[in-house]
Amino acid sequence: MAKKKGILDAIISIFRFFWNAAVFIGKGILWVLRGIWKILSRILGFASSTAKKAAEEHAKPKSEATYDEPRTLRAIKGRFQDFEARLFNSKSMIGIILGARGSGKSALGMRLLENVHAKTGRKVAAMGFKPDSVPGWILCINSPDEAPNGCMLLVDEGGITFGSRDGMSNANKLLSALLLVARHKDLSVMFISQNSSNIDVNALRQADFLLLKRSSLLQGDFERKKIKEIYDEHGSGFSEFAMPGATLAYSDEFLGFAESSLPSFWSEKASKAFKDFSSRK
């Protein structure tokens, strides 16, 4: 009997030994697996975070404004530098940018905003553009009243009228409101429109400068008389200077063709900043 009890105790002792060994080994393996998982999680998490950050940085418009001097293509009267100096130094100017759809009006306006901000540090704002399509130093606003005093404001008629939810549903109402606010808040305003016929002639008379891009096939037939005369007299230059940045500038300081580069932050998103508005009209 004692012999049987001794054998049983031995078997139990061996079982306990192997059980404890298995538990110990299992815990060791689990500890190793947890360590490996932590390392892999950190690696994968870092890679994911890095990829996400890179994607965000790629999508994010350039944060610092840079100046890029326009190049004079043909000077008919005066110097472009004199026009630019007035643009930089005047408290309040009114400019109108005209041209066919897709001719580069918005890019031109944004390049001028960037040059002004980079050279003078002046606050700049825009209406008709989505905030995520432009860098943070451009304030995107929904109403002329939101523009900071003394800033330069770029207004895209298409972006406003297509997305309008108030009374400013046409260019005349919008531009009239802008001119009124500009006098009280020392704003310089650049207004983008496809055709001067959209703009009241009295508002057009208050413009300090015109920047004309190439016109569409029949655009000239529907332009205001003075704008049509300018296109008829000087429009052949657009065929001679067949580059995307060519602009006919008409002002007291300069009359002629100049070429501007795209804004440093320009992208497909910025160039079609109000594309969704037209589908909701």
pLDDT in tens, 110-153: 999 999 999 999 999 999 888 888 999 999 998 888 999 999 99
What phi and psi values does residue 243 have, to the nearest 5 degrees?
-130, 150
Q: Give yes or no for a contact between 126 and 113, defined as CB atoms under 8 angstroms apart.
A: yes
Within the chain, strands assigned E span 71-78, 94-98, 124-127, 138-141, 152-156, 188-193, 209-212, 246-251, 254-259
Of 107, 27, 120, nearest to 70 by C-alpha is 107
Q: Give yes or no for a contact between 92 and 278, defined as CB atoms under 8 angstroms apart.
A: no
Of 266, 57, 90, nearest to 188 by C-alpha is 90
pTM over 0.75: no
Report pLDDT for 166: 46
Report pLDDT for 90: 93
Domain borders along the chain are 1-59, 71-280
169-180: pLDDT as tens digits: 566 777 777 888
| Run of H or E including 175 | helix 171-185
Task: Walk along the chain (281 residues) and give the pLDDT tens digit of each residue.
Answer: 555 566 666 676 776 766 666 767 877 787 778 878 878 777 776 555 555 554 444 444 557 899 999 999 999 999 999 999 999 999 999 999 999 888 999 999 999 999 999 999 999 999 988 888 899 999 999 888 899 999 999 998 876 654 444 444 566 777 777 888 888 889 999 999 888 887 878 778 889 999 999 988 777 777 888 999 999 999 889 888 877 789 999 999 999 999 999 999 987 666 655 444 433 33
Report pLDDT for 262: 93
Q: Which CATH superfamily is domain 71-280 in?
A: P-loop containing nucleotide triphosphate hydrolases (3.40.50.300)
Report pLDDT for 160: 66
Report pLDDT for 111: 96
**Region for residue 102 given its phi and psi (left: phi exceeds 0; alpha: psi -120 to 50; beta: otherwise):** left
